[in-house]
Structure formats: structure tokens, C-alpha cells
Structure 1
Amino acid sequence: MAYFLRMWLRVQGRRCAHVGSGIQKAILLRCFDYRRMNNWIAIPVLIVLALLVLFSAQRCSNSQPLQSFVDTTDRNQEGNRKMASSTKVDCSDKKAMFSITNMSNLFQKCAKSDKAQQVEMDLYLDAWEELIRFLNSMGKAFTFVSSDVVDKVGILRDFRKSNEGKNYATIEEMMSYEKKNDLINYKDAPSKKVKASGSRTLLRLHRALKFLLILIGKLARNEDDGKVSVMGYNAYHASPMSKYHPWIVQKAVGVAVYMLPDRETFIKQMCQDLSREEIESTMDVCSQSMDAVFEYSEALYSKFDLLEIP
């Protein structure tokens, strides 16, 4: 872009140089005025481009192995060939940051508990804490999710520890209690003057859960031609998150997902010396359990008419 801007300004200068004299003096001055204006446009654009380059370089140097879009595509293809040629995934070079098996077990426990359709709060939050470890293991690409959900899980834990904690034992009991006592603000978002309700807080986790269960399912089935960046992009736009994010956040997420590692790296960061078949099977079961929990929660939000809390 900088090259084309320089060439365009050079052409403008040559056009000015070829303008005749005498009666065309006014045109000459006007031409230089336009050239000056073009410089005023070009210089800020070049500065912004330079800042973007510096920012990208800093992100790449500070994060876990992240690639550009082109590198990601190439490494995805290479990673898929390696996965196909070996049954066992080598995890010796990097200790897994979390356990996909533990996360799958926690969501299964939540989905199959005696109060599964009411969704037990403690089981739900335990599963989310393992999911947060998953997000953290992926580096800065998932900051747009992890930075918010950590806070939300903490708020819900505080509700459970409070004097009213018994009213937050299940999601259904929480919604019933908060509606009955008029604790949900339907007009204003939480602030210093407006306290966040448990129902509103959990709704943000609920939307993020849909995004992540779709992504994990895609990883398990190796969809979208094995391109993790495309999986992330499609999962985000298939989830409720994108609907409630402002335009600028949606565009930022579109850039962030292209910093996701290739599928082989993704798999390595999730495994505990499992075979490829075991990893993919566990991810698939985990995604299905997450979906069951999501559907139970969705039904409760619909029942209490709380899906559109600001």
C-alpha cells in the first residue's frame, strides 16, 4: 500500500511539472494544492501501517507459536499429513496445559447429573474452569473470550459463597430466585450503580460455550479442510457471540482467529499421550456433552424469558 501511495504522489508531481505557464498558472497552483492534500492523506496512512507492523511483530514475539495466515495454511496441511502418518501423537516436547479428558468428563458429569436439566451450578463452573485452561493454552488468540469468562466465573462463584448461595445451586433456581425478587436489570448493563445479576453473568458464559463447543467439534472431525483459522472464524459466526458483539469486535475476532496454531499444534496442546483416535473421540464426546449443557441452559433462558438481558 505504501508503494502505491508513493507512486500515486509521484504521478501527481509529474502532472504538475507538465502543466504549462501563463494562463495555466491557476491550474498549476491548484495542482500543487491537491498534491499537498494527497500528502496529508498519505502520511497518516503510512504511520498507521507502521504502527500495525510494530504491533503485529510484538504480538508474534510474545505469544505461543503463532503464524501468519499463509504460514497457518501451510502448517495445517503439513500437520494433517503428520497426523495421518502416525497413530500416536508426540507430546514429549511440550507438557499439555490442560486435560481434554478431564474437561470431557466434567461436561459429561454436568450433562448427566440428577439435576441435569436444571444445570447444577458447581458442576457447570468446574467444567468452565477446565475450559479456561484450554483457552489459556491457546495463547493470545482467544483473549477476546478468556479475558471475559474468567471474570464471569468468579462472579458466579461469589454468588455461591454468599448468604444467598442456596438460591444459586442450579441455574433454574437462580433464575427463579432473581426474577421473583426483581434482581435482574432489563434496561442497563452492569456498572458501579448497577449490580450484575447471576442470570446476566451466566448468559455471557452461555454464548461463549456455544462458540467453543462448535470449535471443538470441528477440530474433532477435522472440518473446514483442516484449517483451524477457518474453523475458529466459522464457529464464532455460528454462535450467539457474534450477534451481540459490536462491529469492531467482530472484525478484531476475524483477525485474531488467523493467529491460531495449526491443527497438529492444537492437538499436542490438548493431549495427554493419547492416540490420535482417542484424542478425536474424546473431543467429539466433549463437544456433544457441552452441547447438551448448552441446550438445557438455553431452554431455561427461554422459559424465564431472559435471553435478551443487556
Structure 2
Amino acid sequence: MLGFRQMPWSSAQEQEQAPSEQLCEGVSAVVAARQGMEKPLTAVAEAFEELARGMEADGGELRLAPFSDSCALVSVLFSSLGMAFRFAEIEYVTKVNDLIGAGKSYRTLSDILDKDIQNDCVKKQGSHSRNLRRVRLGLGLIKALFEQFLDTEGTLYDAATIAYGQVCAPFHSWAIRKAVGAGMYTLPTREQLIVRLNETEGDEEIH
């Protein structure tokens, strides 16, 4: 079976830049800081709720540092999906790591967008704006997948297939979509995922 590790989610040059380790140093540090969380899905939900409250308090501005920290936690959810999403996970954490670094120089997401627009590099490979777009795509995929997973009694395969079709498939060629479909068969079962996330059916319903 083909897994995501073997599939060109991004350009060949960008793939060469992906790290071989599962988590970049910056992302690993953030995740390690919250290793006490017993339930990753619950922790991620709470982190983004806190992020929303902070955004409201800041008059609609989204601060880059807490946003990047929250995004880093999502890598745990990618990891729980196993080898099927391995390459997507590596690409995602690489882009999040870039945003974590950018957080040392920029206060908000608007700041990095304004700077890249000023420098005419929004679409340039490796720019913070381009990496932000990739992170948003990863967040969208995970959000759609777990919404499908939690709202239905179907399999994880069904949820992942629907989520991929909604979020990523429109940007991929027929060959990539075909390979992704094959990789979906390596996903864990619904029961296995619940165990990995240390959740119960009752816990799922509250997220």
C-alpha cells in the first residue's frame, strides 16, 4: 500500500527540505511542555478555545506565538492516524516550526502577511505566508476528519476519505488522489484511534 510518506503533497524541492524526524525541535518543545495532557483531542480543543478567547480580547487580532503553539499540538492528532498520514504530518510540523520561529519577530498573523505583501513574496516558496497557508490546510483536514469521525458512527476510513475529498483533493492531481486513496487503507480502526487518544465514546460527544 502507498502511504502519505510516498506522495508528493508539495513540490519536489519542498519535500527535500522536510526533516526525517517526526517532530521539529520547536514543535517538539511545545508538545513536550504539555505532555501532561491525558487526552490529546480534549487538549487541542481547549487550546483553540483559549486561542479564540485571546483573539476576542485582542480586538480580533490573532497572535502568532499562541497560534503556533496550538497548531503544534495538532501534530499529536496527525501522529495518532499512523503511517497513512505520516508524510502529511512531517510537512505540517515543518511549516508550524517555521511559524514558531517567526513568532520571535512578528506579533500577529497580520504582521507576517503585511510584511510578505510588502516584500512581494506571499506566494514565494518558503515564505511565512505560504507556510501559513499549508498549516491552515492541515488544520482544515484534521478539523474535517474529526468532525466526520465524531458526528457519525462510520469508520475512520470513511471520515478520512470525506475530509480529504473536501479539503485537499481539489488541489491534487488524479495520480495523487489515487495514491492517497490507497494509503487510507492503513488507517487504524475507530476503536484503535479512540484508544490511542485515550478517549471514550462518551468523551467524544462533548468535543
Q: Are positions 1:264 and 2:191 aligned together?
A: yes
Residues 131 and 171 from structure 1, CA distance in 2 versus in 1: closer, same or farther, beyond 3 angstroms?
A: same
TM-score, structure 1 as length reference: 0.51
Any idea what the Cα deviations from partners look like across 1:223-245, whole Å, max 9, x if unmatched? 5xx12111101111111x22222
What is the identity, as a one-letter code, of the residue corresponding to 1:278?
D
1:246 corresponds to: 173
Q: 5+ unaligned residues in a row in structure 1: which ranges?
A: 1-51, 57-95, 191-195, 283-310
Alignment of 1:73-92 (within 5 A): none
Does residue 131 of structure 1 match 2:74?
A: yes
Distance in 2, matches of 1:109 and 1:253, equals: 33
Work out the CA distance in 1 between the residues paired with 2:193 and 2:202: 15
* Distance in structure 1 (CA, Å) of the matches to 2:63 and 2:46: 15
Could you tell me how far 1:151 is from its partner in structure 2?
0.8
Aligned residue number for residue 152 of structure 1: 95
Give me the whole-angstrom Cα distance separating, in 2, the residues matched to 1:123 and 1:177: 20
Aligned length: 172
Structure 2 residue ranges without an equivalent (≥5): 4-36
CA distance in 2, matches of 1:130, 1:213: 13
Structure 2-normalised TM-score?
A: 0.74
What's the secondary structure of 2:149's corresponding residue? helix
Residue 206 of structure 2 is matched in structure 1 by 281
Percent of counterpart pairs with the same letter?
A: 24
Amino acid at match of 1:231: A
Contact 1:229 1:258 in 2 (8 A): yes
Which amino acid in the other structure matches residue 193 of structure 2? F
Q: How far apart are residue 158 of structure 1 and its match? A: 2.0
Shift of 1:103: 0.8
Q: Judging changes above 3 Å, is the alpha-carbon distance between structure 1 residues 140 and 97 closer, same or farther for their aligned structure 2 residues?
A: farther
SS at match of 1:182: coil
Tell me the CA shift for residue 139 of structure 1: 1.5
Say whether 1:207 aligns with 2:114.
Answer: no
Which of 156, 165, 177 aligns to 2:115? It is 177
Shift in Å at residue 152 of structure 1? 0.4
Give the structure 2 partner of residue 107 of structure 1: 48
Is the 8 Å Cα contact of residues 97 and 269 (structure 1) preserved in structure 2? Answer: no
Judge conservation of contact 1:110–1:116 (CA < 8 Å) in 2.
no
| CA-based RMSD | 2.4
Cα deviations across residues 140-188 of structure 1 (Å, max 9, x unaligned)? 0112310211110111122223xxx0xx22112221222123343x4xx
Residue pair 1:228, 1:263 contacting (<8 A) in 2 also: yes
The 3 A distance-change label for structure 1 pair 153 and 211 is same
Deviation at 1:108, TM superposition (A): 0.8
For 2:144 and 2:73, locate their aligned partners in 1 and report how far apart those are by CA, in whole Å: 17
Deviation at 1:198, TM superposition (A): 0.8
Check 1:142–1:97 CA distance in 2 against 1; reply closer, same or farther (3 A cut): farther
